[in-house]
Amino acid sequence: MSHTPAGIRQTQKLRTRQALLEAALALLEHQSLSSLGLREVTRAAGVTPTAFYRHFEDTAALGVALVEETLGSLHGLIAAVLMETGDSEERLDRSVALIARHVGAQPAHFRFIAREQHGGVGPVRAAIAAQLRRFAEEVACALGQEPGAAGWSEEDLLMLGG
């Protein structure tokens, strides 16, 4: 039985998980996810290989977590801009500027997304596609509420949104 309080244990778990994500991202600057070994990641993170499995089932799950970390945080930010009142063109411009700032602040994350979108790890490709589809749907929904979009098909709105 551990004598470490639950709050401290949870904080340590979060730190270890984040260390694994950061180590993987650094290693992925020079290789693809399909060639990344979990021992490389754990060595770079300074943890044992068994610690990896407390956080991720395999390297594909690690990659999916990186996708979620990279793209998942953008949904709320983009939705807030799209829900603002005012000129739709200005809102779209602010959305694009927000995305550009996000990409500029996290270049390694987005290089990972760009490379792995067509990479060899199926669950990661699927996670990226799902996130991009969700963005298209969110933008399409916002566009569909514009008076100028009356009569547009859902397919047309999705095409514009994505």
What pLDDT shows up at residue 98? Answer: 92
Q: Could you tell me the pLDDT band of residue 3, with boundaries at 50, 70 and 90? A: low
- On the question of pLDDT at 2 being above 60, the answer is no
Q: Could you tell me the pLDDT band of residue 73, with boundaries at 50, 70 and 90? A: confident
**Averaged pLDDT for residues 54-73:** 96
Domain residue ranges in the chain = 6-57, 68-161
Contact 114, 27 (CB under 8 A): no
**Which tokens go with 108?**
């390694």
Same fold, 6-57 and 68-161: no
**Dihedral sign for Cα atoms in the order 122, 123, 126, 131:** negative
Q: Which CATH superfamily is domain 6-57 in?
A: Homeodomain-like (1.10.10.60)
Q: Could you tell me the pLDDT band of residue 102, with boundaries at 50, 70 and 90? A: very high
Contact 97, 156 (CB under 8 A): no
What pLDDT shows up at residue 75? Answer: 87
Which DSSP symbol is given to 30?
S
> How many angstroms separate the CA atoms of 44 and 153, rounded?
50
Q: What's the fold here for domain 68-161?
A: Tetracycline Repressor; domain 2 (1.10.357)
Q: Which amino acid is at 65?
A: A
- On the question of pLDDT at 149 being above 90, the answer is no
